[in-house]
Amino acid sequence: MAKRSLYHRLRANAQVRFGLFLLGLLLMLTGIVIGPLPGPGFVILFPLGLMLCLQNSAWAKRRYVAFKRRHPRYGAWTDRVMRRMSAARRRARQRIESALDDD
């Protein structure tokens, strides 16, 4: 049986997951604060914070799914910025379907 990595063992701890969730919130708030400054600060910090929040909080996942249902265009943009694998699969499937419809 393969040994679990230290990262996976720590993520099993509820306090660590909560701490990572709070770190994600802090990164998102920092991204919003430095957003008006020149440079890519917002584009880097906000998606990193959002990824940490989504990985460590069921509440954040539910809110994100509700946001994506309400605003599909913005949801697709955030998926692309976060480089989510599910979004890449969805875009590839849509390209294939549109190519089949054109034929």
Average pLDDT along the chain? 83
Residue that has been written with the tokens 């379907």 in this structure: 97
Residues 2-47 have pLDDT tens digits of: 677 887 777 778 888 899 999 999 999 999 999 888 888 888 888 8
Asked whether the CA dihedral 68, 72, 75, 76 is positive or negative, the reply is positive
Q: Residue 25 has what pLDDT?
A: 93
| pTM listed for this prediction | 0.67
Query: What gap in Å lies between CA 5 and CA 57, rounded to an integer?
Result: 21
Q: What secondary structure does DSSP assign to 16-84, as a single string? A: HHHHHHHHHHHHHHHHHHSTTSSSSHHHHHHHHHHHHHHHH-HHHHHHHHHHHHH-HHHHHHHHHHTT-
Task: Say if residue 46 is exposed, middle or buried (CB neighbours under 10 Å; 0-12, 13-18, 19+).
Answer: buried
